[in-house]
Amino acid sequence: MKGKLWRNMSGLRNVFYATCVFALMTAGTAYAGGTLRVAAMGEPASLDPHKVSGTWENYIVGDMFLGLTTEDPKAEAVPGVAESWTISEDLTTYTFKLRKSTWSDGTPLTANDFVFSLQRILLPETAAEYASLLYVIDGAEAVNSGKAEASSLGVKALDDYTLEIKLVGPAPYFLDLLTHYTAYPVPKHVIDKVGKDWTKPENMVVNGPFKLVEWLPNTHVKLTKNDNYYDVAAIDLDALTFFTQEDRAAVQKRFRAGEIDVAMDFSSDQIGWLRENMPEETRIAPYMGVYYYPINSSVEPFTDVRVRTALSMAVNREAIVDKVLKTGELAAYSFVPPGVSHYSKPAEVEWKDVPYGERVKKAKALLADAGFTADNPLELTLRYNTSENHKRIAVAVVSMWKAIGVKAELHNAEVKVHYADLKQGDFQVARAGWIADYNDAQNFLYLLETRTGANNYGRYSNPEFDSLMKQAEVTADLKKRGELMYKAEAQAMADMPVIPIYHYVSKNLVSKKVVGFEDNAKDIHRWRYITLK
């Protein structure tokens, strides 16, 4: 509308009149267009959805691709490429009817694209670190481990617009799982032609509402509206720019200066100033995730459960959430957060209610039993990725460990390098975080299964835990399934391969001109729903 007004008016008086009318018409309302500027808080390792694994990457690829299902503004599963589906009586076979849509280059998207994509992510040569998330699909684990051909995967195109997926057992979370980037389609016709170069801006073809136009490493990623998106008429924004810097203080300054519209996270030490000066822009909400320290239980002396337990007992979680963070996080004594669907109560460590002073004494005794005393102290390196919050927590934890005679050094790296080291097992104790991909306890506990691979950072392996999780995988009764996973979590909390520290809240800065940003338990926001006013 603005362009038409300017073209049809002439003379300064008419221009002034048109400007006033437009301002009155649009004051306090939303209009189509504009570029949303988002601080994603990390440099993506890739924009290939089969090669990513972080929330900061999800903020970008989640609007470049569209899965069979997708998220609504509240992060709940709704139809995506699939416009409808049916589920068999035994809850193991899903049949999806696909809507007619195209890739951004105009090529029709069909059920065969999903067959190709789900096979591709599971092929050993793809080396997708997140492939194990799809093991609920029949044959997925065998394909991913190289024990079966890709064609044996339980995914079949019945015709161009009908897709069948068979599961190994009932999975109440499956439709939610399909919103995840591991289940996104990728363009076979482009990958066959240019191979790994398919993610370069000049080659990249997508099926979501926005497409790549520029990626300047360690600076920004720019997307523009995909005119071939099936529902392009519903998209208000013209473009998206994602800034990838990790310095929360610098991002906050840019937000205050109006250079950024949404900042996905902020430094907790600024909460007092933000609440006083920017209360409407400061968004804090419950967040289904766990902040934890994996311990590399495959290397000495961390193979010893006494050492792992001592380190965990010495962490004063209440002091961290109340005095270091101050933004409402919950002290964590379980790996699974409270309030997860079909899971009545997480399995907490047995010593949760022991007074902290007594826990410190017990931790010292455990280390002494393991051979670590004042004359032979335990020495370790604690790794964390760049963030003021992570550093402040790490400094606090090192001080707590010092009280039990542990000498710890800190090592910092940017997020991409940090997680690459964790996946290689190149650490002793490190900072990590896990945000729910779907609302189910399995999504947290599967991280501790032996078969999970790279995302089981500490290489924890317990046959009893694995057996319980396998039983839960094929159990249809939701109550019995929950009980099996509870037993599995209780076993893991006794073994202490990870130190749960707190359960998250999301902390975002959102400009008043951003319309459609809804706080939700996953902190997933698809920018296709956003309008600028």
Is pLDDT above 90 for 144?
yes
Instruction: Please compute the mean of the pLDDT values over residues 1-20 and round it to a whole number.
Output: 33
- Does one domain contain both 203 and 325? no
- If asked whether residues 301 and 351 sit together in one domain, one would say yes
Arithmetic mean of pLDDT, 162-189: 97
Q: Is the dihedral of CA 314, 394, 432, 299 positive or negative?
A: negative
Lowest mean pLDDT among 104-108, 134-138, 143-147, 268-272: 268-272
pLDDT at 12 over 70: no
Does the pLDDT at position 19 exceed 50?
no
pLDDT of the residue at 118: 98
Q: Is residue 499 situated within a structural domain?
A: yes
| Averaged pLDDT score across all residues of the chain | 92
pLDDT given for residue 31 in this prediction: 53
Domain for residue 267, yes or no? no
Q: Are residues 22 and 49 in the same domain?
A: no
Helix spans in 403-477 (H): 415-424, 442-445, 463-473
Surface-to-core class of residue 350, CB atoms within 10 Å of its CB (0-12 exposed, 13-18 middle, 19+ buried):
exposed
- Are 344 and 406 found together in one domain? yes
The predicted model gives 299-308 an average pLDDT of 97
Question: Which is more confidently placed, 340 or 104?
Answer: 104
- Asked whether the predicted pLDDT for residue 15 surpasses 70, the reply is no
Instruction: State the average pLDDT over residues 352-377.
Output: 96
Query: Residue 412: helix, strand or coil by DSSP?
Result: strand
pLDDT top residue among 268 and 121: 121
CATH of the domain at 83: 3.90.76.10
In a domain, residue 219? The reply is no
Across 156-184, average pLDDT: 97
- In terms of phi and psi (left: phi > 0; alpha: psi -120 to 50; beta: otherwise), the region of 466 is alpha
Q: What is the pLDDT of residues 483-517, one digit of tens each?
A: 999 999 999 999 999 999 999 999 999 999 999 99
> 10 lies in which domain range?
1-30
Strands 220-225 and 239-243: antiparallel
Confidence of residue 14 (pLDDT cuts 50, 70, 90): very low
* Cα separation, 528 vs 533, whole angstroms: 15
Which of 160, 188, 207 terminates a domain? The answer is: 207
Whether residue 219 is predicted with pLDDT greater than 90 in this model: the reply is: yes
Has residue 252 been placed in a domain?
A: no
- Indicate whether 24 pLDDT > 70: no
Does the pLDDT of residue 7 top 90, yes or no? no
Q: Is 20 exposed, middle or buried (0-12, 13-18, 19+ CB in 10 A)?
A: exposed
Among 29-38, 177-186, 216-225, 438-447, name the one with the lowest average pLDDT: 29-38
Do 362 and 499 sit in the same domain of this protein? yes
Whether 323 and 193 share a structural domain: no
Q: What is the pTM of this model?
A: 0.84
Residue 530 lies in a domain: no
Are residues 66 and 10 located together in one domain of the fold? no
What is the pLDDT, as a whole number, of residue 454? 85
Q: Are residues 84 and 168 in the same domain?
A: yes
What is the pLDDT, as a whole number, of residue 344? 83
32 — pLDDT class (breaks 50, 70, 90): low
Q: What is the pLDDT of residue 3?
A: 33
Cα 199 to Cα 64, 211, 214: the distances in Å are 11, 11, 11
Residue 372: phi and psi, rounded to 5, are -110, 115
Please tell me the total count of domains within the chain: 3
* End residue of a domain, out of 207, 235, 256: 207
Query: What integer pLDDT is reported at residue 286 of this predicted model?
Result: 87
| 49-62 as b/e: b if 16+ CB within 10 A | bbbbbbbbbbbbbb
Q: What percent of the chain has pLDDT over 90?
A: 89
